[in-house]
Amino acid sequence: MGKSYKRHIAKSITWRIIGTLDTILLSWLISGNPYTGIKIGLAEVVTKMLLYYLHERVWFKIRAGITENGDSKRRHISKTVTWRVVGTIDTMLLAWFISGNAMVGLQVGGAEVVTKMILYYLHERMWYQLDFGLDKRRKEGTST
């Protein structure tokens, strides 16, 4: 297994911890039931880990947003937006099915658009500073 795969697995795990805690809290506050929040958060651990890993692999293969000087802020913003679309749809469906209430699904999804985009962008910037899983520091998105 290449080092980039280890990096993407580690990023998936750290993001999922942050994302799950955010979903549990939002779902609890919106549904009024801490158990509903926990159920939604735990259900999305499985779906989001797979979806996030696939999202990372796609973005690793493309060079969108890479500049000659290595600046990646536009790339990270683009990744943030594409991930949020996928993640929000997943959360809305899970919250709806688990709570039995479509409005809870819409409210949880709507609330997390804001919190998750901020958290995801900060997560991306943190990982950009780390060399874990890279042979050497290089521009993200270039082939290994």
pLDDT tens-digit profile of 29-88?
999 999 999 999 999 988 988 898 899 889 888 866 666 666 677 888 888 889 889 989
Question: Which domain, by its residues, includes 56?
Answer: 3-129
Using 50, 70 and 90 to split pLDDT, how confident is the model at 144? very low
Spatial CA neighbour of 24 closest among 8, 48, 53: 48
**Is residue 136 assigned to a domain?**
no
Average pLDDT, the chain: 86
- Kindly tell me if the per-residue pLDDT of 91 is higher than 80: yes
**Is residue 79 assigned to a domain?**
yes
Q: In whole angstroms, give the CA distance from residue 61 to residue 113.
A: 26
**Is residue 82 assigned to a domain?**
yes
Q: What is residue 65's predicted lDDT score, i.e. its pLDDT?
A: 63
Spatial CA neighbour of 70 closest among 140, 144, 143: 140
- Looking at the 3D structure of the chain, how many domains does it have? 1
Could you tell me the CA-to-CA distances from 33 to 8, 29, 70, 73, 103 in Å, in that order? Answer: 33, 7, 46, 38, 15
